[in-house]
Structure 1
Amino acid sequence: MSPEELWGPAEPAGPSGATVRKRTLRTASIALGLGAPAAVYLWHTDPHQPGQLLLPCPFKWATGLLCPLCGGTRMAYDLMHGDVLTAFHDNAVLLALGGPLAAYAVARWLVAGLGGRTYRPRVTARGNAVVLGIAAVWMVARNLVG
């Protein structure tokens, strides 16, 4: 028996390097095009002041509790204005762990994509458990402390 008879036909090769580069540039351009106006709006809108036109946290709205991401908008505002200490106060775990992790993932994706390679991060079950565990502990701690 041939391998095709056992497992079916071989999968076609992935996209070419030029296709991956074009897709990466297009996706990055769209993200930049959407993110830049949002950043400009946030720059001029202080989320520390009440009455601003910003999306509220649906978890906090429904439960009255802070979720692990609550304070992220205020943190981004403070970082854009160079106030790292206040940003740390807004959401310490997101600043210390989430920001560097997101920057690493985006940088890996860009470097691979511009090099013509596809990058797909793989998160193991243990990795998911660690992230969810950190988020749960952070949520409980920040709601108990206040």
Structure 2
Amino acid sequence: MPRPAGGPGAGHVPLARRVAMPVGAIVSVAAAFAYVGTVDPNEPGHYPVCPLVRFTGIYCPGCGGLRSAHAFIHGDLATALGANAVAVVGYVIFAVVWAMWLIRAVQARPLRISLPRAWWWSVGAVVLIFSVVRNLPFGAGLAP
């Protein structure tokens, strides 16, 4: 006979199952970072060239992201910020959100992040401004 909703044992999920997704996510990200940390994107021939830069000469918001990750992994924060400052901010945000996700999973509470629409528009505007400025002569310091 099925258990009634809310009865004893209802909703109990083992810890290993609750943390499987956040642990799987961090293992995947760690593997990707380990690869980029080992295979230097500053040496030609290891990674494909960004098609936007190749065909137009314009840097996209992601340009320099691999070089940024490589420098970040090796503890060179200044070089990481110089290659792609937005990516470095993204690494930090990912780490914070991942930690929150893991803590909530251990506590058997779902992670719900609800941000106002204006916040998402603001993030989009910052990334757009970053993309435009890094392609202008006075923003050369933001170019990879």
TM over 0.5: yes
- The ranges of structure 1 where at least 4 consecutive aligned residues each deviate by more than 3 angstroms after the TM superposition are 21-24, 55-64
Match of 2:76 among 56, 65, 83: 83
Q: Which has the higher contact order (CA 8 A, sep 6+)?
A: 1
Gaps of 5+ in 2: none
Cα separation, 2, equivalents of 1:36 and 1:77: 12
Cα separation, 1, equivalents of 2:65 and 2:104: 28
1:88-137 deviation line (CA, Å, top 9, x unaligned): 11012332x32332222111111111110001211321111110010011
TM-score by length of 1: 0.74
Corresponding residue pairs, total:
131
1:24-71 deviation line (CA, Å, top 9, x unaligned): 42113322443343233222211111111x354454456432122221
What's the counterpart of residue 5 of structure 1? none
> Alpha carbon RMSD of aligned pairs, Å?
2.5
Question: Which deviates more, 99-108 or 136-145?
Answer: 99-108
Identity %: 31
Verify the 8 A CA contact 2:22 2:101 in the aligned structure 1. no
Verify the 8 A CA contact 2:22 2:98 in the aligned structure 1. no
Secondary structure of the structure 2 residue equivalent to 1:143: coil
